[in-house]
Amino acid sequence: MITNLCFHGIGVCAQEREEGEARYWITSDVFRGILDLVHDRSDVTLSFDDGNRSDADIALPALHDRNLSATFFALAGRLDDPASLSATDLRELRTAGKDIGTHGWSHVPWRGLSPEEARREFVDAREALSEASGGEILDAALPLGRYDRRLLSQLRDARYRTVFTSDRFRTRSDSWLRARYSVTSADTVDSVRAMLTSRASVAEARNFTASLVKRIR
């Protein structure tokens, strides 16, 4: 079993684009401390959602210093936004050996989309990110973590290699649908250490059960 840690923003959230976004930003010191904590653990993977500039400015150098791998799930609709990753940034990440995935076009929940909206989020965004980054996009991260049986079927039909959620439990490394723990502003290096070293909790079991319900509803 592995633990997938997900980061969103590093440093200071200068302006929230969505209500509550600042909750998912952590300080640079905490971020680097977490990397130091996990840099020699084979049972932990790292990913980044939302495509914020801090991915290139802060995360990439810190990952490079520790020889760590990661996947960056970018938003196609923000490639021209100065606060977000650009095409040049995505190519730099690829050159550095990092993986690029899709987080969609406009950071909206993917559950219940119309056919036109689904094409924009699943297909058009993927193609735009592939062109921008200069490589194939194989993996997707669900915006806001929402999904159901119909959405998962659509993503399988779109031939995504792996789909990542925000369900907060340990997962198998070969699963097609993989849960992650989002690191938030309430976390510290100690809280992440405690989570990584603890046995499966009641909360994890509850989150796993909730995931099963989402898959069949």
Tens-digit pLDDT profile for residues 84-135: 999 999 999 999 999 999 999 999 999 999 999 999 999 999 999 999 999 9
At 216, is the pLDDT very low, low, confident or very high (cuts 50, 70, 90)? confident
The string of DSSP codes covering 103-129 is --SS----TT--HHHHIIIIIIHHHHH
CA distance 22 to 199: 29
Tens-digit pLDDT profile for residues 9-29: 999 988 888 889 999 999 999
Give the model's pLDDT for residue 205: 62
Specify the CATH number of the domain 3-216: 3.20.20.370
Contact call for residues 101 and 140 (beta carbons, < 8 A):
yes
CA distance 85 to 98: 14
Give the model's pLDDT for residue 208: 66
- Predicted TM-score (pTM) of the model is 0.95
